[in-house]
A and B are shown apart, each in its own frame.
Chain A
Amino acid sequence: MASAAVLEEISRDLKIDRKGQPLGKVMWEKKIKEGPGSTPRTKHLYKRCRWAHTAGGEYVREDIKISLERARLYTEGHKANAGELPIIIRAKCLEHYLKNCSIYIQDEELIVGSHNEYPDKLELFPEGGAKNMMDYLEDDTVTPPELYDEGVKMVEYWKQWSLSSRCERYFDPESLEKLSTGVIGEPPVWAHFYTSACPPYQSVLEDGLEKRIKWCEDNIKNARDKIKTFPWRGEENFPLFEKIDAWEAMNISARAVIGWARKYSRLARIIAENFDLSDSVGGAGQRKKELLEIADICARVPAEPARGLKDAMQSKWFCFVVAQNIERYCSGYSQLEDNLLWPYYKASVIDKTAQPMSREEAVELIECERLKVCERTVTKGRWMRIIHPGINDLHILSLGGLDENGNDMCTDLTDVILEAALNIHTNEPSIAFKYSPKCNEKTRRLVYECISQGFGFPSIKNYEKNFKHSMEYHGWPPEVAARWALVLCMAPGATGRRSTQHSRNEGGSGIVGPAVGTMALSDGFDAWFSNKQCGAHTGDASKFTWEDLLKAVEEQIKHNSQLMFMNKEITSYAENKWLESPFLAMMDDWNVEEGVGAFHRYNKPYTNTWADYYPGPVGVVDDLAAIKYWVFDKKKYTMAQLLEALKANWQGYEEMRQEFLSAPKFGNDDDYVDKIANWFFNVSCDVWAAHKMVGWEKGATIVPQSVSAFVTLGSMIGAEPFGRRHGEPTHDGGCSPYMGLDKKGPTAVLKSVSKLPNERIKGIQLNQRLPVGLMRESEKGFDVWSAYMKTWHDLNCDHVQFNVVRTEDMRSAQKEPEKWEHLIVRIAGYSARFISLSKMAQDAVIARTEQELG
């Protein structure tokens, strides 16, 4: 039973007078009436937030335009240092940029620091390659005409130096063409310059950069002493030259970051002392005091260790801006935030020993952080923007879980972060909760309240299952395996001080799940989008036996994954050699100890080699089940007849389509199809494990999920045997039943999911939709949801996330979007503003089965 005391405590913290009504209902009504934000400052910042998300691949606000400041300064830096070693060039480009870039501070901000010339500006990365840069330059909705010629000249300059040129040389034309279609997998990092990272913030918060600079200096001195030692030892000394270069690059970068942070200190002080602040929300005196405190903080961090929560938040933000926005663009906001910031929260809010502040002030600071994330402008490639509608990036932080001894790691800060999310009502950053029944009730209740508000987050990851998987499949020690945080949507990565994931080429990227099925039926030819041979030649499917069909699917998995892993490792090699991130390396203890760049992976202690299926591959399972049922068991149709119907996109074959739709479907606890699912996922795990990426002999692990690709890639995936037409959405999530085809209730869904080889899978996404009446408007909601979560946990499922939104609200939002700006829905690995989704994506969310609980 839910504890009344816990509910009262949460209501008090949130300053909600329930008057006997369900908390969720009162919060929803309060938000509609008063708007988001717990303080006048965050209310103001929410109202003027510079949302930077995209829809249909386009930025939703017309004010968002490109700037060439970063590209210009990096080009200057490169030209001035072109004869230097690659890692030194990268450090000097960063130094040149940080010394000469523009900076700004917005009104009422408590956390400062940005990566762009002006607010609302997009900065470009010409060193990635021509394709993405030209896509932006050619788009006159974001590129002012006066910047076009200069941009094109930069593209020309970087042609020989870019990551694209470094990678393309290793591909044969056929592989290059297949990869570039986007039909069988994510286009290469070097084509759309989309990557991701988990910066090890903890080292900088604890040490400060000055201490780490001294560490590098000592390492350089020791290396120099070593090479002077008699007698000469070439095998030991040769590697030291490269290490000396790496440490020098790290120090150039770190000194530049300290200097850049102090530019903010200078600006804050000048604003405080020279400008009229009388129309500030808290008055001129208050704002002046805040700006002088910001000046003090930016003078000290990240150079020095953080003392309290304000230092820690600012230091973390500066590191994020540099490592993921300036040095190069990286998606994500990966961190175990409550664990990372807990010492500083404790010092400021509980012990009051450093930067003392109230709990309410801490909530406000987290609200400010959430708004800051929403303003981050991102220039990932169009393919990526298209599959991420409604957000500006995959910003996902993690909370909760247990330590390696099984103790609850949730703290009051965990609750503060969740309360801030409830208050400010932004869809970014999303939150993943590391669920264990041992997590305390108050935190679990707050998780529930966020879900009941319709945020779609926290998404729930099974702490124990992922703890075990991280030890058994990645070999991480228990204290590391316990402190995982999601890299992006679904996959755990190491946090802490050392050996975190630095590149998408280590963990990330993916192949299109449904394509391994459709290609098996077309001898690998894509007749629906590219009109090219994208998959493997696996023969004429009209003559297939059931065994031939399974073999063809397996061959397509092998073929497509081979291309993906080859591409990942080629890009990894090239980024380590030519496009290093020395500041990110400086943040990581292992890289500093070893004197290696951020993308070096040989002998890395905690490797994280994984890759996705996305969209998820359950469509293949339903396809195979439908074929087995009607062609090989019932023998009502032949393979040739089926292929004809698919070629016609089921047009003229509606009766047949209905029969294939009626075949057993995944998600109904039906062994007929669930056994096929088990076979398919086991084969996929085998194939993934067979790919041995650098640094990990056990092979890669698999993460089936979908982001929004289940809708946007519908146009690339041909008609499917389970009854889907070309262009329609595919299965969402990694193991979600097809919308509307799970007919036996939520427990049947969980039972089907539990029959997958979950212990072998790193992460697999399950989307569920629950009724508003129960979750938000009933006193029983928490108990019923807790019982569902117990079943989910007992069945060792990996993940689940919930949409709690009324169909009639979504229909109203389609008709009058201007009235529904606040409506958030869960797409896949992230939550999006409903009104920014395409009509098809909106309809797909509406069509999801609403499960009845209780």
Chain B
Amino acid sequence: MPQCKECKSFFPVPENEWDYEKGAGDCIRELRDNKGRYWHARRTKDEMDALKCTDYKKR
């Protein structure tokens, strides 16, 4: 079963950050729509099941 931490979009929250929690990470993706592109960060957990994630890309 793929997990978030194995994905290219997963960036762990460093321990010295305010929002650090064990296993916490940012799912960061480049997105585009008709108004251009932007980079989006969503909070996630390293062991989160990524099976149904359509954006999952193994590192």
Q: Tell me whether A106 and B18 are in contact (CB under 8 A).
A: no
Can you name the residue of chain B whose Cβ is closest to the Cβ of A271? B39
Stretch at the interface among A97-105, A329-337, A558-566: A97-105
Q: How far is the CA of A48 from the CA of B34 in the complex (A)?
A: 8
- By a CB distance below 8 angstroms, the chain A residues around B36 are 48, 106-107
A138 at interface, CB cutoff 8 A: no
A62 to chain B, nearest CB (A): 10
Contact of B18 among A102, A107, A262 (CB under 8 A): A262
Q: Tell me whether B41 and A103 are in contact (CB under 8 A).
A: yes
- By a CB distance below 8 angstroms, the chain B residues around A271 are 28, 39
- By a CB distance below 8 angstroms, the chain B residues around A267 are 26, 28, 39, 41
Q: How far is the CA of A638 from the CA of B30 in the complex (A)?
A: 73
Over the window 24-48 of chain B, the binary record of Cβ atoms lying under 8 Å from chain A Cβ atoms (1 yes, 0 no) is: 0010101101111111111100000
Over the window 49-71 of chain A, the binary record of Cβ atoms lying under 8 Å from chain B Cβ atoms (1 yes, 0 no) is: 11000000000000100000000
B40 to chain A, nearest CB (A): 4
Interface centre among B11, B26, B31, B39 (most CB of A within 10 A): B39
| With A63-B33, A275-B30: A263-B39 Cβ-Cβ less than 8 Å | no
Q: Tell me whether A275 and B26 are in contact (CB under 8 A).
A: no
Q: How far is the CA of A102 from the CA of B40 in the complex (A)?
A: 7
A266 at interface, CB cutoff 8 A: yes
Q: How far is the CA of A104 from the CA of B29 in the complex (A)?
A: 9
Interface centre among B18, B26, B28 (most CB of A within 10 A): B18
Q: How far is the CA of A344 from the CA of B11 in the complex (A)?
A: 35
A255 at interface, CB cutoff 8 A: yes
B15 at interface, CB cutoff 8 A: no
Q: Tell me whether B26 and A266 are in contact (CB under 8 A).
A: yes
Can you name the residue of chain A whose Cβ is closest to the Cβ of B42? A102
Can you name the residue of chain A whose Cβ is closest to the Cβ of B28? A270
Q: How far is the CA of A271 from the CA of B38 in the complex (A)?
A: 10
Q: How far is the CA of A673 from the CA of B40 in the complex (A)?
A: 61
Q: How far is the CA of A270 from the CA of B28 in the complex (A)?
A: 9
Can you name the residue of chain B whose Cβ is closest to the Cβ of A280? B37
Q: Tell me whether B40 and A259 are in contact (CB under 8 A).
A: no
Q: Tell me whether B40 and A263 are in contact (CB under 8 A).
A: no
A157 at interface, CB cutoff 8 A: no
B6 at interface, CB cutoff 8 A: no
Q: Tell me whether B38 and A102 are in contact (CB under 8 A).
A: no
Q: How far is the CA of A390 from the CA of B1 in the complex (A)?
A: 50
A785 at interface, CB cutoff 8 A: no
Q: How far is the CA of A498 from the CA of B17 in the complex (A)?
A: 31
| With A102-B42, A102-B43, A270-B11: A263-B19 Cβ-Cβ less than 8 Å | yes
A118 at interface, CB cutoff 8 A: yes
- By a CB distance below 8 angstroms, the chain A residues around B33 are 63, 119-120
A366 at interface, CB cutoff 8 A: no
- By a CB distance below 8 angstroms, the chain B residues around A107 are 36-38
Q: Tell me whether A99 and B41 are in contact (CB under 8 A).
A: no
A391 at interface, CB cutoff 8 A: no
What is the number of residues of chain A that contact chain B, defined by CB distance less than 8 Å? 28
Can you name the residue of chain B whose Cβ is closest to the Cβ of A265? B17
- By a CB distance below 8 angstroms, the chain A residues around B28 are 267, 270-271, 274
Instruction: List A37-56 residues whose CB lies under 8 Å from chain B.
Output: 48-50
Q: How far is the CA of A388 from the CA of B10 in the complex (A)?
A: 42
- By a CB distance below 8 angstroms, the chain B residues around A48 are 35-36
Q: How far is the CA of A104 from the CA of B35 in the complex (A)?
A: 14
Q: Tell me whether A263 and B41 are in contact (CB under 8 A).
A: yes
A716 at interface, CB cutoff 8 A: no
Interface centre among B28, B35, B38 (most CB of A within 10 A): B35
- By a CB distance below 8 angstroms, the chain A residues around B26 are 263, 266-267, 270
A258 at interface, CB cutoff 8 A: yes
Q: Tell me whether B38 and A119 are in contact (CB under 8 A).
A: yes
Can you name the residue of chain B whose Cβ is closest to the Cβ of A118? B40
Q: Tell me whether B17 and A259 are in contact (CB under 8 A).
A: yes
- By a CB distance below 8 angstroms, the chain A residues around B13 are 266
Q: How far is the CA of A105 from the CA of B18 in the complex (A)?
A: 20
Q: Tell me whether B35 and A50 are in contact (CB under 8 A).
A: yes
B11 to chain A, nearest CB (A): 6
Q: Tell me whether A119 and B18 are in contact (CB under 8 A).
A: no
- By a CB distance below 8 angstroms, the chain B residues around A274 are 28
B24 to chain A, nearest CB (A): 9
Q: How far is the CA of A256 from the CA of B19 in the complex (A)?
A: 9
| With A48-B36, A63-B34, A270-B28: A104-B41 Cβ-Cβ less than 8 Å | yes
Q: Tell me whether A275 and B39 are in contact (CB under 8 A).
A: yes
Q: Tell me whether A259 and B39 are in contact (CB under 8 A).
A: no
Q: How far is the CA of A49 from the CA of B40 in the complex (A)?
A: 18
Can you name the residue of chain B whose Cβ is closest to the Cβ of A257? B18
Q: Tell me whether B38 and A100 are in contact (CB under 8 A).
A: no
A40 to chain B, nearest CB (A): 14
- By a CB distance below 8 angstroms, the chain B residues around A63 are 33-35
Q: Tell me whether B17 and A262 are in contact (CB under 8 A).
A: yes
Q: How far is the CA of A102 from the CA of B31 in the complex (A)?
A: 13
Q: Tell me whether B39 and A104 are in contact (CB under 8 A).
A: yes
Q: How far is the CA of A433 from the CA of B39 in the complex (A)?
A: 37
B5 to chain A, nearest CB (A): 16
A274 to chain B, nearest CB (A): 8
Q: How far is the CA of A99 from the CA of B24 in the complex (A)?
A: 11
Q: How far is the CA of A103 from the CA of B40 in the complex (A)?
A: 6
- By a CB distance below 8 angstroms, the chain A residues around B17 are 259, 262-263, 266
Instruction: List A61-95 residues whose CB lies under 8 Å from chain B.
Output: 63
Q: Tell me whether B35 and A119 are in contact (CB under 8 A).
A: yes
B39 to chain A, nearest CB (A): 5
Can you name the residue of chain A whose Cβ is closest to the Cβ of B19? A99
| With A267-B26, A270-B11: A106-B19 Cβ-Cβ less than 8 Å | no
A60 to chain B, nearest CB (A): 14
Q: Tell me whether A102 and B41 are in contact (CB under 8 A).
A: yes
- By a CB distance below 8 angstroms, the chain A residues around B30 are 275
Q: How far is the CA of A351 from the CA of B56 in the complex (A)?
A: 50
- By a CB distance below 8 angstroms, the chain A residues around B31 are 104, 118
Q: Tell me whether A259 and B37 are in contact (CB under 8 A).
A: no
Q: Tell me whether B41 and A258 are in contact (CB under 8 A).
A: no
Can you name the residue of chain B whose Cβ is closest to the Cβ of A50? B35
Instruction: List A86-139 residues whose CB lies under 8 Å from chain B.
Output: 99-107, 118-120
- By a CB distance below 8 angstroms, the chain B residues around A104 are 31, 38-41
- By a CB distance below 8 angstroms, the chain B residues around A266 are 11, 13-14, 17, 26, 41
Contact of B38 among A106, A258, A259, A262 (CB under 8 A): A106
Can you name the residue of chain A whose Cβ is closest to the Cβ of B11? A270
Q: How far is the CA of A377 from the CA of B19 in the complex (A)?
A: 26
Q: How far is the CA of A193 from the CA of B43 in the complex (A)?
A: 29
- By a CB distance below 8 angstroms, the chain A residues around B18 are 99, 255-256, 258-259, 262
- By a CB distance below 8 angstroms, the chain B residues around A275 are 30, 39
- By a CB distance below 8 angstroms, the chain B residues around A120 are 33, 35
Q: How far is the CA of A175 from the CA of B36 in the complex (A)?
A: 49
B23 to chain A, nearest CB (A): 14
Q: How far is the CA of A609 from the CA of B42 in the complex (A)?
A: 42
Q: How far is the CA of A102 from the CA of B43 in the complex (A)?
A: 7
Q: How far is the CA of A99 from the CA of B31 in the complex (A)?
A: 22
A309 to chain B, nearest CB (A): 24
Q: How far is the CA of A104 from the CA of B32 in the complex (A)?
A: 12
Instruction: List A802-840 residues whose CB lies under 8 Å from chain B.
Output: none
Over the window 513-538 of chain A, the binary record of Cβ atoms lying under 8 Å from chain B Cβ atoms (1 yes, 0 no) is: 00000000000000000000000000
Can you name the residue of chain B whose Cβ is closest to the Cβ of A268? B39
Can you name the residue of chain A whose Cβ is closest to the Cβ of B43? A100
B57 to chain A, nearest CB (A): 13
Q: 4 smallest A-B Cβ distances: which pairs?
A: A259-B18, A106-B38, A104-B40, A48-B36
New A-B pairs, 10, CB < 8 Å, besides A102-B42, A105-B38, A119-B38: A100-B19, A103-B41, A104-B40, A106-B36, A120-B35, A259-B19, A267-B39, A270-B28, A270-B39, A274-B28
Q: Which residues of A contact B (CB under 8 A)?
A: 48-50, 63, 99-107, 118-120, 255-256, 258-259, 262-263, 266-267, 270-271, 274-275
**Could you show 16 A-B contacts with beta carbons less than 8 Å apart?**
A63-B33, A63-B34, A63-B35, A99-B18, A99-B19, A100-B19, A101-B43, A102-B40, A103-B41, A259-B19, A263-B17, A266-B14, A267-B39, A267-B41, A270-B11, A270-B41
